[in-house]
Amino acid sequence: MGIIAKLKGELVDIIEWLDDSRSTLAWRFPRYENEIKNGAELIVREGQRAVFVYRGQLADQFGPGHYELVTENLPILSTLQGWSHGFRSPFRSEVYFISTRPVTDLRWGTPSPVTVRDPDFTMVQVRANGLCVLRIADPEIFLREVIGTDSSVSTDEISELLRRVITQAFSDMVLETRLGVIDLQGRQTELAGKLKDYVQERVDDEFGLKIDDIVMTITLPEEVTEAMTRGVARGVEQARYLDNVGPMDRLQQGAAAEAMVAAARNEGGGAGSMMGAGLGMALGQQMGSMMAAGAPQAAPQAGPPPLPGAQQFHVEINGAAAGPYTPDQLRPFVAGGQLTPATLVWANGMAGWAAAQTVPALAGLFAPAGPPPLPGASQRGGNA
């Protein structure tokens, strides 16, 4: 090879970076032993930034555009190289291309659960995962703290670093906010914005990065999720009950009234005429007492008080204990659907709450009703 050809091979006249992988964050132009000549072309494309580094010191930076490398375009490098009388050609300098495009596919997740102190479930271990959108905001810090002497840096190399930072930030955020697990799940969007601020404080001056967005999903243990689901279902059931029936005193009054009406209609029973005659009086007295009070008060019990020594039961209705009631007082609840064979009940002497159908004193309430007596059956029985 001749001297001219060798000289041409050592001089760099076009400096550019062509990369379509979207996974490379920084790339050093492979100058090797070549020198950059006076008037060389520098091409910086959109989403890139070119940075000249001379003997470890950051020099001139260039945004997107087409540049001719002359003295006027390299003021910092001219000072560093001591070009007191203009551009000295050729010269040596490292050129790094930095990607300023956002990285949108960085996934993160907590490798181990974070313990949360919860007012309802005491101590709960939660996990979180999601996506992080980031970009390089300060090339100088990124060059010094991340690139170092590497010829290139990919997203894989900083993914593990970012995951550790986000995980620690999530743990600190949960501890500082002191929210229970129900609030954590219900305010995930708001907390994702807060987590973004927590992470940004730890990567801007340290690594030269900017966090554009963080998407977060908080996962609770399966048993906690099931307990929350049961609680929601019970709340919906209670809301429907209150809309359709009203307070407990109205439930008891309505059930008692339905029982009296049903008994009055039972013409075959001996108590039918007595109940029919007394129905209007009982309802009239009840309405009169409510009107005379002039304010919402507890309604009087329907019927006479329980006989002394009669067994009384507390009943679980919509998650709350009601009562006590005698078995006869519970019949209207069975008719109204508030007391089922599976409803929990308790009375003095019982070891604990038990299903109503397992209690001998209440089992008869759920026995299938027999057919009504045949018309005239009492007359035929008396004539026989």
159-180 confidence digits (pLDDT tens): 988 999 999 999 999 999 989 8
Average pLDDT over residues 47-76: 87
Look at strands 320-325 and 313-317 and give their pairing: antiparallel
Q: Which two tokens stand for residue 126?
A: 């939660």
Cβ-Cβ contacts under 8 Å for 83 (sequence gap 6 or more): 71
Q: Which residue has the higher pLDDT, 301 or 81?
A: 81
Q: Which two tokens stand for residue 1?
A: 């090879």
CA-to-CA dists, residue 189 to 130, 304, 310, angstroms: 12, 58, 57
Q: Percent of the chain scored above 70 by pLDDT?
A: 68
| pTM (predicted TM-score) | 0.54
186-228 confidence digits (pLDDT tens): 899 999 999 999 999 999 999 999 999 999 999 988 888 887 7
Q: Give the bridge partners for 130, in sequence order.
A: 108, 216
Task: Please state which CATH number belongs to domain 103-220.
Answer: 3.30.479.30
Q: Which two tokens stand for residue 87?
A: 């551009």
Q: At what angle do helices 248-265 and 327-336 cross, to 10 degrees?
A: 90
- The domain segmentation of the chain, as residue ranges, is 3-99, 103-220, 245-266+310-368
The pLDDT, as a whole number, for residue 292 is 44
Look at strands 35-44 and 11-15 and give their pairing: parallel
244-263 confidence digits (pLDDT tens): 544 445 445 544 545 544 54
Mean pLDDT (the chain) is 76
Q: Is 128 left (phi over 0), alpha (psi -120 to 50) or beta?
A: beta
Average pLDDT over residues 127-145: 93
